[in-house]
A and B are shown apart, each in its own frame.
Chain A
Amino acid sequence: MSELRWHPLLGEWVATATHRQDRTFLPPPDFCPLCPTKPGGFPTEIPEQTYDIVVFENRFPSLSPNPPEPAIEGDDFYPVRPSVGECEVVVYTPNHSSTLAQEPVEQIFKLVQVWTDRFRDLSALEFVDYVFIFENKGEAIGVTLSHPHGQIYAYPFVPPRVLRELEQSKKYADETGNCLLCDILTKERDDGRRIVAENDSFAAYIPFFARYPYEVHLSAKRHLLDLTELTPAEQVDLAAILKQVLAAFDKLFNISFPYMMVLHQKPSDGGSYDHYHFHIEFYPPLRTATKLKYLAGSETGAGMFINDTLAEEKAAELRSHIEPVIWAKK
């Protein structure tokens, strides 16, 4: 069963998706549903062998274009609506044992183009107001399949975190006439201490206000609202800086570094969002090689994060692991 229930205290929708309790949980490599099907082998989600990147509809979606009727009838006090939307899985590579950090920058460049294509297609759907591209990586995050992949949720509303960013950005633009993200980027680059990596089109930094020890934000230098506005050169630069940041994450503790990666773009509800600014945020759960940053009482119950570290020190640590990107020869 699947539906959206209104949370009157927070003013936001909660999705119930009871069928997801039965989803595949950390299968052995021979039974990975995200690997290409081998001849005579276990039938996976991907029958084909020859591809660069594959996208398919999630078998266990929280949102779907033709959702079932809600399990329970809502009313004016407790509104309920069908969980209409789209949930896609983006398989980054046929290679089961890889990670996005280990993929060549050319593959990440391809992924940027696929993200762009999916954003464009899903944004055009009449029932979609927001396209959310993300990756949960690592068992520490609760990943159930280790094959390198990300996800896309196409929501029938603008989700609350993004809505709050939009509101803050609008308020700042009304007060100053400037883009908030552009000014944050200027402030970070002028200061320099929290910058992790930079190229012609993008800068990666642990912001002044970081809530997680290694919370990297990756912002476009040019004021743009979504992936479709990137030039080919900017797509290249985005791939390059993603590769640098992801590789540096892995070098921090010499482990395959867990993280949540989220792309924040403008909504696709037809509104005007010139005050917003495309960026990517990483929320890694580790604060040391063996210790997790838990979202405990203050973070979960009050919404106030307590960061045990200084962004300036963590940025310097991460920056020391940044290496140039090597592209394959033509």
Chain B
Amino acid sequence: MINENTKQGASVGEMHKRREVMEDGRRYIIYYTFGTREPVSTGEVSELKPTTEVRDDV
């Protein structure tokens, strides 16, 4: 039952997040992307910071 494949392929890259104000001007939305891809902004950027670095060797 122990899964031998568990530690393989766990490299999804660094997490990026960007927080924006939604269309209604009231709520927030946070886009999360991983790896080299970052979301293309369609509005005001209020936050952009990588918060979690995923190890490549796990």
User: Separation in Å of the A14 CB from the closest CB of chain B?
Assistant: 25
When A54-B32, A117-B52, A325-B3 are in contact, do A48 and B12 touch as well, CB less than 8 Å?
A: no
Which residues on B sit within 8 Å (CB–CB) of A48?
31, 39-40, 42
Assess whether A59 is in contact with B2, with CB atoms less than 8 Å apart: no
Considering only residues 17-39 of chain B, those with a C-beta below 8 Å from chain A are: 17, 22-23, 27-34, 37, 39
User: Separation in Å of the B38 CB from the closest CB of chain A?
Assistant: 8
Instruction: Please report the number of residue pairs spanning A and B whose Cβ atoms sit closer than 8 angstroms.
Output: 108
Beta-carbon nearest neighbor of A117 in chain B: B51
Assess whether B58 is in contact with A328, with CB atoms less than 8 Å apart: no
Which residues on B sit within 8 Å (CB–CB) of A244?
3
Assess whether A199 is in contact with B6, with CB atoms less than 8 Å apart: yes
**Count of B interface residues, CB-CB < 8 Å:** 34
Which residues on B sit within 8 Å (CB–CB) of A116?
52
Contact of A232 among B43, B51, B55 (CB under 8 A): B55
Mostly helix, strand, loop or mixed at chain B's interface?
loop
> For chain A, which range describes its interface: under 10, 10 to 19, 20 to 34, or 35 or more residues?
35 or more
Contact of B32 among A52, A105, A199, A232 (CB under 8 A): A52
Contact of B28 among A47, A53, A57, A200 (CB under 8 A): A57
When A51-B39, A328-B9 are in contact, do A59 and B29 touch as well, CB less than 8 Å?
A: no
When A47-B42, A51-B33, A324-B5 are in contact, do A232 and B15 touch as well, CB less than 8 Å?
A: no
In the assembled complex, the Cα of A231 lies from the Cα of B48 at a distance in Å of: 24
In the assembled complex, the Cα of A237 lies from the Cα of B34 at a distance in Å of: 19
Q: Report B's interface with A, CB cutoff 8 A.
A: 1-12, 15, 17, 22-23, 27-34, 37, 39-40, 42-43, 51-52, 54-55, 58
10 pairs of A and B residues whose beta carbons are closest in the complex: A327-B9, A57-B27, A56-B29, A236-B10, A53-B32, A55-B30, A51-B31, A240-B6, A232-B55, A327-B8
